[in-house]
Structure 1
Amino acid sequence: MEKIKNYYQQAKSELTKVIFPTKDQIRNAFVSVFVVVAVVSLFLAMIDMIMSYTLSNII
Structure 2
Amino acid sequence: DSISSSNASSGSTVWKHFHRRPSYAPNHNVCKYCRPRKKYKITTGLSTLRAILYPNTS
Normalising to structure 1: TM-score of the pair? Answer: 0.20
Higher helix share: 1
Normalising to structure 2: TM-score of the pair? Answer: 0.20
Larger radius of gyration: 1
Higher strand share: 2
Question: Which structure has the higher relative contact order (CA within 8 Å, separation 6+)?
Answer: 2
